[in-house]
Amino acid sequence: MLSFIARRSAIGLLMLVALSVLIFILLRLAPGDPIDAYINPSSPMSASDLEVLRDRLGLDQPLPVQYLAWLRAALGGDFGYSIQRSGVGVLPLVMERIGPTALLMGTGLAIAIVLGISAGIFSAVRRNTLPDIALSVVSFVGISSPAFLTALLGLYFFSVLLRWAPSGGMQTAGAPFSVADVLAHLVLPACLLSIGHAALIMRYMRASLLEVLNQDYVRTARAKGVREFWVIIKHATRNALLPVITLIGSTVGIA
């Protein structure tokens, strides 16, 4: 087991290194000069100043040296400075946003898990009925709809037309902090974010539960007179959740 974990970890590390090299090369192959981002068009710099800036940024070094310098700095937590906000480090900007981002992603994933598993169980129990067909159609639409399109339509409908929810931000500007205010700003984006994931979880849950319901131990439980509710919840659902948990784990990485 330990050798398997070590081997998988080594493969993952090599993939990260290869991906970083690929991204670095693609950025260098892009048209233009990286130093152009630091030049103000209204006040052009002289050639000597450009060389000084290029030397300070290490852009006069060979590409392998530039990559190693960037990798060493990144591993130490130094991701450079923001181009748009001069003098502000990238890492503080990321840390400033990571809390609200984690809150939004976590809430959206929790909603997706609850809705997806519940709908999957209901759809499997009511197989080939009108509710099952309706849920299947809705899930296919949810899976195939791009997240940005769903978000824009939801924002326009619920925020602009109906005015049921704020259209942006984490809390009302200028207002004192309030949990209710944060929740009011969180509900709509979290629900919209959960649509695609909930639809995918629902499909996996339905398929897995239908397979489990045909197993011998489920038929045995029914033959012993166990109530259908407990057959579904206690005997079938617990085993049907295994592939769904795997899907949720991969969803966390994608989200």
| Percent share of the chain, pLDDT over 90 | 17
The structure tokens 């929810």 sit at 165
> How would residue 220 be classed by pLDDT, with cut points 50, 70 and 90?
confident
Residue ranges and CATH numbers for the domains of the chain are 2-86 (no CATH), 93-254 (1.10.3720.10)
- Report the alpha-carbon distance of residue 36 to residue 203 in Å, rounded: 49
> Which of 78-87, 125-134, 148-157 shows the lowest per-residue confidence on average (mean pLDDT)?
78-87
Name the band, by pLDDT with cuts 50, 70 and 90, for residue 15: very high
- For the segment 29-67, what is each residue's pLDDT rounded down to a tens digit? 877 777 776 677 677 777 777 777 777 777 778 888 888
Estimate the crossing angle of helix 63-75 against helix 2-29, to 10 degrees: 130
Q: Which candidate, 121, 112, 123, places its Cα nearest to that of 238?
A: 121
Q: Please, what is the Cα angle at 101 between 97 and 107, to 5 degrees?
A: 155
Model pLDDT, residue 185: 83
pLDDT above 80 for 248 = yes
Beta bridge partners of 89: 81
The answer, yes or no, to whether residue 253 has pLDDT greater than 70, is no
54 token code pair: 């290029």
Print burial letters for 44-78: b (CB count within 10 Å at least 16), e (below 16): eeeeeebeeebeeeeeeeeeeebbeebeeeeeeee
